[in-house]
Amino acid sequence: MQNTSQINPVIEESWKALLINEFQSDYFLKLKNFLIEEKAKYVIYPPGSLIFSAFNYTSFEKVKVVIIGQDPYHGKGQAHGLCFSVQKGVRPPPSLVNIFREIMDDLGIPVPNHGYLENWAKQGILLLNATLTVREGQPGSHQKKGWEQFTDAAIKAISEKKQGVVFLLWGNYAIAKETLIDSTKHHILKAAHPSPYSATGFFGCKHFSKTNEILKQQGLEEIDWRI
């Protein structure tokens, strides 16, 4: 059995300091051992070096918007650690296409020809999946193994230690995270999930212009939603 002192994840320093108790906890050790066993038998996404990409792109200090997803994409070459995002050269999945469609309707920004959301992350949008890994071709396969406890801790830290963050909660799974957020300090925008199965309740939410209006009212730089 590995010892907790050996857990030294490659994660941006402000997040590492903030979440150190999670990394040193029993549940995280069990999660790490589970991932070692999984990788010995299956293909796991995203690659190990990209698991904490959301945190590495967006330091704790920079976070001003949070978008919460559920699982990483489970197809080859898709997941790279930012929720809803795929790398250049990979066809944008339907949910992401619907996000772009709403941005076009809301702000007039043309639908891009790729789905790489790095530019959002660099502007202070934490693109956080609740579960940070998945087995190839098996959505939900790494749920309830410890990741949710870890990402909940990150959401709670933002809620407790920051002010005026805009949380975009799309679909029932993300909306359930509302209980972790202090609504007296932060702004919560809710809508249906952009999946084709529920997108009629997502279209027209105007979350992108609303986010910028909230940021503007706080004297913060608005998000450039182009990628």
Among all residues, which ones are annotated catalytic? Answer: 71
| Three-point CA angle 91, 203, 176, nearest 5° | 90
| Alpha-carbon gap, residue 51 to 73, rounded angstroms | 12
Give how far Cα 62 sits from Cα of 32, 112, 180, Å: 28, 25, 20
Q: Are 121 and 66 in contact (CB under 8 A)?
A: no
What six digits make up the tokens of 217?
Answer: 């009212």
| Residue 141: other Cβ atoms inside 10 A | 17
CA dist., res. 69 & res. 80, Å (int): 13
Taking the alpha carbons at both ends of the chain, their separation in whole angstroms is 44
Q: Are 67 and 127 in contact (CB under 8 A)?
A: yes
Dist CA 95 CA 75 (whole Å): 14
Instruction: Assess contact for 189 and 166: CB atoms under 8 A.
Output: yes
